[in-house]
Chains A and B, each alone.
Chain A
Amino acid sequence: MAAADELAFHEFEEATNLLAQTPNETTTRSDQLGPKGHVAVAMDSGGSYGAEDEVEESDKTELLQEEKPQPGFWTFGYYQSFFDVDTSQVLDRIKGSLLPRPGHNFVRHRLRNRPDLYGPFWICATLAFVLAITGNLTLVLAQRRDPSIHYSPQFHKVTVASITIYCYAWLVPLALWGFLRWRKGVRERMGLYTFLETVCVYGYSLFVFIPTVVLWLIPVPWLQWLFGALALALSAAGLVFTLWPVVREDTRLAAGVLLSVVVLLHALLAMGCKFYFFQPLPPEPMASPHQATSQPTATVLPPTLPRSVAA
């Protein structure tokens, strides 16, 4: 009984304190206490606060809203806030990244300043696996045409692919964000994106490479280059249109350098993937099988060895 009394007293004291601060609040007695033992205070619809009333009232409500403890980064709830998206929202964001338009800033229009981590993480994972799998498939198809090519599962490519993609999609936004922050320190009129928004932009911009990589299975070289260029154009355009409003305030030199570095890195990624995972296969079965499989970054056709030496 004494314990129950103590709890009851504690409850009422807190509730009366809260009531004294804002007379319009109603407290509901709930059996579940909040994470720090506070009574859950039910506020009537938040919309009514912003619209009307004196500055004093809105100040107090702002105080109360901030009193709701922001979960620390060691709690699960903190990370849960980054996965607060529905299926339709994710699909909408993917569509936005596939069709960039000059006026539409991806961060403002699609993300609406609520970045999520679901998209970047799973798009990178999918891209890494698709790269490794289709790279392996091209080897299978090549072996169909030329039985002397030695086929092997090449499982190490999965590791290489995933490390490359994840490093690109997380370290380059980090560098970009750091650079933008530094420039903002120098010229204060520049806008800024948070780190998560930058990661989101980069992650969703990589989505267009997934169908491109699958289309790279078609063994027609000029078609592969066409698809690659198209994907690069779409992806880089998305990045540039998103970064332009932020970088516009800076000097033209800095803006130009930044945007061209971003596009260049993107192009390097695309070409690196193409050459590493889809080594250009010899048009005639003249290249030795040993060299075809052991030189992953061959951009030039390996010199043909006499067949007797190779066999």
Chain B
Amino acid sequence: MFFLSQQRPLELTKEQKCKRIMTFAGLSDISIPQDIPVEGEITIPVRSRIREFDSSTLNESVQNTIMRDLKAVGKKFMHVLYPRKSNTLLRDWDLWGPLILCVTLALMLQRGSVDSEKDGGPQFAEVFVIVWFGAVTITLNSKLLGGNISFFQSLCVLGYCILPLTMAMLVCRLVLLAEPGPINFMVRLFVVIIMFAWSIVASTAFLADSQPPNRKALAVYPVFLFYFVISWMILTFTPQ
């Protein structure tokens, strides 16, 4: 993009100016004869600053790079925890947050020692597959229904909205250190239900607007099923 320098304005006749405007407006059947001299000055500002910026990300320290990414991830966590209708999650999507959350959740759902292979809780791979393939399936579903959200934006939103459920998992693991009993179970149930509702609210705040209005329920139901299954896995977790 260039703009004409302010210092020496072009000397154009009125006819030339009209022709310029018409060409700019897309009327291509008006031809400008070749012999009109066009002069002016083109300056590209901030050129030197761009070059500085480019080399600076290459030369900056690793700590800066990591901190910048971590800050972006942290900012998105805040957006999930206090869901407002904002575009940050959609505009600058990234998949670091979902990866961190999914690995944390899968690690926490592991049991210490498995008494029999078949009867255990979900393995690491099963949790991973459910989370990622579930998110991909929901994204494909919403795109097939005619939603106008991009593939990775949707994956980003669904992944980040697992954050409340990961927090519920942390709380459940802490609560399970105490005495088992019905109160224990009630506390866990309550926490999981609250976090499940929070996840649903957070993800629909971001995703519902991208669907055609008479298909919103069709697109939101699979999200509900997805978080319900994850909540179920968290609730049925028993350490031994």
The interface of chain A, by Cβ under 8 A from chain B, is 1, 4, 8, 76, 79-80, 82-88, 90, 118, 122, 125-126, 129, 133, 136, 151-156, 159, 293-294
Contact = CB atoms under 8 A, between A and B. Distances in A.
B120 A155 contact: yes
A85 B221 CA distance: 14
Contacts of A136: 236
B83 interface: no
A118 B121 contact: no
Nearest to A154: B119
Given A86-B214, A153-B237, A4 B28 contact: yes
A116 to B, nearest CB: 10
Contacts, number: 72
Given A1-B31, A129-B229, A156-B118, A88 B214 contact: yes
B126 interface: yes
Interface in B84-122: 115-116, 118-122
A136 B28 CA distance: 71
A80 B121 CA distance: 37
B119 A293 contact: yes
Given A155-B120, A155-B126, A156-B118, A118 B218 contact: yes
A210 B229 CA distance: 16
Contacts of B229: 129
A298 to B, nearest CB: 15
A83 B144 contact: yes
Nearest to B134: A125
Contacts of B233: 153, 155
16 contacts: A80-B144, A80-B146, A83-B144, A86-B214, A122-B141, A122-B221, A125-B222, A126-B225, A129-B225, A133-B232, A152-B115, A153-B119, A153-B238, A154-B119, A156-B118, A156-B119
A153 B121 contact: yes
B4 interface: no
A83 B120 contact: no
Contacts of A79: 144
A193 B173 CA distance: 53
A81 B228 CA distance: 29
A309 to B, nearest CB: 19
Contacts of B237: 153
A156 B116 CA distance: 12
Contacts of B232: 133
Interface string B201-232: 00000000000001111100110010011001
Contacts of B143: 76
A125 B225 contact: yes
Contacts of A153: 119-122, 233, 236-238
Given A153-B122, A294-B116, 13 more contacts: A79-B144, A83-B146, A86-B218, A87-B215, A118-B144, A122-B222, A126-B225, A129-B228, A133-B232, A151-B238, A152-B120, A153-B119, A153-B237
B44 interface: no
Interface string B114-138: 0110111111001000000000000
A8 B28 contact: yes
Max count, chain A CB within 10 A of own CB: residue among B31, B119, B122, B123: B119
